[in-house]
Amino acid sequence: MKEPLILALDTSQTTTGVALCRGGEVLSSSVATGGSKHSESLFSQIEGALKEGGAAREEIRLVAVTRGPGSFTGLRVGIATAKGIAFGLGVEVAPVSTLKALALGAFAGEGTVAALVDAKKGQVYAAAYSKDMGEAIVEGAYAPEEFARLLKGCEKPLLLAGSGAKAYSEVFREILGDGFSVAPEKDWAIDPLKVAALGLRAFKRGEAVEPALLAPVYHRLSEAEENKKKG
């Protein structure tokens, strides 16, 4: 059976990532910087990926996309694009956890890797994963102190990755002592190839969904929604 052609998208943070893979074979991959202006580069990157990969848009059999947590605006851009492409082609989408993609990109192969994104307001979006990428700590919005205490019960060694590890380094040091290390900052960006790999895994497990069912995962209300709720 021929491996599916997968288009993978990430707009969850400050970079815009696009990858094109045929199963596990990498045909094209690019990551563009430029703050939160995902919409300005996403479509040109997709066209560039198809051209570089020597593939036609009609050949795509799966769209994998980060579904959050992350930038509210960025996630909406990526998910709307993924839905539009999938609807047009009549294919499924594989929603991929931003935290899981981050963890997979940083993982050293042993113990537990924790992915943490600074969510501001004294919180982190975080989760922890074992070496088989199973959830050791379920993803969500945590107070750094709470998440650090949960990490104490995880298999060692502990590797932390992401902006939340830097923002609350003193908290983790106070609670975990020297019982953890932090991945290099170059490994904190979401690699669209990891999104493709996780999307393929979901596809083979029958976990891909119809585009109408694709929705972002924020783990908390946006500032506008919070203000509306208060008002």
| Domains defined for the chain, CATH in brackets | 5-98+189-230 (3.30.420.40), 109-182 (3.30.420.40)
Note the pLDDT of residue 221: 62
- Yes or no: say if 38 and 16 are a contact pair by the CB < 8 Å rule: yes
Short-list 160, 35, 164, CA closest to 107: 160
Note the pLDDT of residue 108: 78
Note the pLDDT of residue 36: 54
Using a CB cutoff of 8 Å and minimum separation of 24, what contacts does 135-141 make?
Answer: 136/112, 139/69, 139/97, 139/99, 139/100, 139/219, 140/219, 141/69, 141/219, 141/220
pLDDT at residue 62 tops 80:
yes
In Å, how far are 118, 133, 230 from 221, measured between CA atoms?
15, 27, 12
Calculate mean pLDDT across residues 134-152. Answer: 97
> For the ranges 26-35, 52-61, 152-161, 201-210, which has the lowest average pLDDT?
26-35
Which tens digit of pLDDT belongs to each residue from 63-122? 999 999 999 999 999 999 999 999 999 999 999 999 999 999 999 789 999 999 999 999
Q: Band of the pLDDT at 220, cuts 50, 70, 90?
A: confident
Distance CA 172, CA 165 (A): 8
pLDDT at residue 37 tops 90:
no
- Helix/strand/coil (H/E/C) assignment for every residue in the chain: CCCCEEEEEECCCCEEEEEEEECCEEEEEEEEECCCCHHHHHHHHHHHHHHHHCCCHHHEEEEEEEEECCCHHHHHHHHHHHHHHHHHHCCEEEEEEHHHHHHHHHCCCCCEEEEEEEEECCEEEEEEECCCCCEEEEEEEECHHHHHHHHCCCCCCEEEECHHHHHCHHHHHHHHCCCCEECCHHHCCCCHHHHHHHHHHHHHCCCCECHHHCCCCCCCCCHHHHHHHHC
pLDDT at residue 231 tops 90:
no
Mean pLDDT of the residues in the chain: 93
